[in-house]
Structure 1
């Protein structure tokens, strides 16, 4: 098969103007990602894989940067999206071991790989209610359809994922009832006392300053990270994992998110959207203007 034919057969990312196109590049989506990651590693196999094979303890900033770049490619990468999906599968081929229940696991087994992907939908849906706006039923279905498209980009077969929202919820509830647990990695992600090295990205003067201030900055930042991680996780998932959440915390979260819902929409696009999303949005608008110009009758 020619390279052109191979590209034509590649799964396509979600469409411009869709729900994910608007949500996943918004800076507020960054606040949802820790909850999604924590729900992923609550699965015994996924938690064991991250515990044994990930560099999240030794290189948290690098891992975070790479994960965010990958996620943006899934939605805004165009032809690069499918190649990123193939790269991720290659990366996970050697990840295998034994989970906390004594079961052998492989990162690419459909049950495990699909769960990692599936967690994004309930977390995005729940987080949008707080940080952006509640989704209408039509938007929720659109979000799920687009999330299935992302799954195809990642190499997940349709047979391994529920194909409708109505089919998703029984699958999700069964996973919460029978699989998820409070793994070692979950505890590390929500604990305020987990050691995190100072940032090693950005301008050198800033890195040096943060290195000096890090012992003072880390404790409140870690508490805030844990607060958002637990708060933006869907309540049923939070309960299944065994994470505590109080009414006082809920009120604080609602106040914080209410401020963001007012402030973020009025920010300039260069601030509101992540760089790859911003470039993709600009390119899409430019293409639309060129198409409109081409269709305009000449005098």
Structure 2
């Protein structure tokens, strides 16, 4: 890493406890859907992304990139530069007739900004303990650090939580809509190939069973994508959500909050995150424990509202 490169989030921080946890995989579709609900971002994804032809590969590359931003150390800034280079040729006209470029600060910053409210809401749902006020501020400060790794200037992102929420609500009120890409991401009848995961026997089994597996998987994906989206964003896009679904989400969250912390670290954390956490402990980094339970605030403590 160059001395001029922005540093990634520190070991032992909130992001180190969340971003590589397997529950974070469930939050990512909600963030992606909020991103493409912006007409400019949705148009870019619609015209340039391979999410239709290579959905599993696209998802795997996105997760690997995100983990590098948080756990990659010296590689984080290089990954940020790679992403900016990748997006330099993405431009066109959105559904409102406005020219866009993927690196236009307003649009690039929104893509990044969605991570904070999604993590905040997802932790409430899947950890069943909201962040304390200090943890929220720490999470936001760490997410700003990730933004710098991605090449987002401080002038293009609110620098405090107090500044973030008016900015966030302005985007919800003035920009977000159910774009074509949003509708595709939450569709339950969209064709989806089986994932090419694991050894050959598993891939063959998935291919044979996929016609039976896909329908319930598609409904679960839609349920979690909408449910793990912050309610105000869900409403701004016009996505339906019922009290019955909310009760189901709470039951799902209770199971996740009970079962996942009992898993050994090698199963609880995705491999790059687990490797980074073990290396950090070997080097004596403070706050990186084997249990990863630092996000559990004292009973009765409430997070600051947004």
Distance 2:196 2:18 in 1: 28
1:259 to 2:251 alignment: no
1:184 to 2:201 alignment: no
Distance 1:79 1:155 in 2: 15
Give the total of aligned pairs.
Answer: 284
Identify which of 143, 147, 151 aligns with 2:143.
147
From the two aligned structures, give the one with the greater helix fraction: 1
Per the alignment, residue 124 of structure 1 pairs with: 119
Distance 2:55 2:198 in 1: 14
1:61 to 2:56 alignment: yes
1:13-69 CA-partner distances (Å, limit 9, x unpaired):
000110001011111111100000000000000000000000000000110110000
Distance 1:271 1:249 in 2: 28
Deviates more, 1:108-117 or 1:202-211: 202-211
TM-score (structure 2 length as normaliser): 0.92
Structure 1 unaligned regions, length at least 5? 1-5, 290-299
Deviation at 1:208, TM superposition (A): 1.0
Per the alignment, residue 78 of structure 2 pairs with: 83
- Structure 1 runs (4+) greater than 6 angstroms displaced: none
Per the alignment, residue 244 of structure 1 pairs with: 240
Identify which of 193, 202, 206 aligns with 1:210.
206
Identify which of 146, 149, 167 aligns with 2:163.
167
1:97 to 2:92 alignment: yes
Distance 2:105 2:197 in 1: 35
1:169-213 CA-partner distances (Å, limit 9, x unpaired):
000000000001000010011111111111123211111111111
Query: Relative contact order: is structure 1 or structure 2 higher (C-alpha 8 Å, sep ≥ 6)?
Result: 2
Structure 2 unaligned regions, length at least 5? 286-306
Does the 8 Å CA contact 1:32/1:229 hold for their aligned counterparts? yes
Identify which of 158, 164, 186 aligns with 2:154.
158
RMSD over aligned CA atoms reads 0.9
Alignment of 1:130-141 (within 5 A): 130-132=125-127, 133-141=129-137
Distance 2:45 2:131 in 1: 32
TM-score (structure 1 length as normaliser): 0.94
Identify which of 108, 112, 116 aligns with 2:107.
112
Distance 1:222 1:204 in 2: 24
Per the alignment, residue 234 of structure 1 pairs with: 230
Secondary structure of the corresponding residue to residue 283 of structure 2:
helix
